[in-house]
Amino acid sequence: MSVKIYHNPRCGKSRDTLKLLEAQGIEPEVVEYLKTPPTTAELQDILNKLQLKPRQLMRTKEPEYKENGLDDASLSDIELIEAMVRIPKLIERPIVLKDGKAAIGRPPETVLAIL
């Protein structure tokens, strides 16, 4: 049973989700995605598991979103994914993966559904 969390230690929701996993007796693989962003292929896989389009996983209120012209509706999914890989701050967090499933920990209890 392998569990992975894409984690930002400065984010309260991310810390709460990690604590929730640990309270369940789970020691997840912790990926600090700001330091080690997912690859384009990994992010595409995460999006498929979440059944989301790239823009739905983006933090659209971050200044980098508009500064990089990512509010342009004509951008393709791959262009948006590549932007998130380049600017990982734009990826919504935390993301938990387990056994081919994924969940965003907003609220943290959401991840319980895939455990």
pTM of the predicted model as reported, rounded to 2 decimal places:
0.95
11 catalytic per annotation: yes
Tell me the residue range of the domain where 74 lies. 3-114
Q: How far apart are CA 92 and CA 88, in angstroms?
A: 9
Q: What is the pLDDT of residue 1?
A: 64
Which of 88, 82, 83 minimizes the C-alpha distance to 34?
A: 88
The pLDDT of residue 113? 96
Cα–Cα nearest to 14, from 69, 28, 48: 28
Task: Identify residue 8 by its one-letter amino acid code.
Answer: N
Q: How many CB atoms lie within 10 A of CB 22?
A: 11
Query: pLDDT 10s per residue in the chain (115 long)?
Result: 699 999 999 999 999 999 999 999 999 999 999 999 999 999 999 999 999 999 999 999 999 999 999 999 999 999 999 999 999 999 999 999 999 999 999 999 999 999 9
Active-site residue (options: 3, 4, 9, 11)? 11
Question: How many domains is the chain built from?
Answer: 1
The DSSP element (H or E) to which 81 belongs, if any, is: helix 77-86
Q: Tell me, what CATH number does 30's domain have?
A: 3.40.30.10
Instruction: Give the CA distances from residue 46 to residues 23, 25, 85, 94, in Å, rounded to whole numbers and listed in that order.
Output: 24, 24, 12, 12
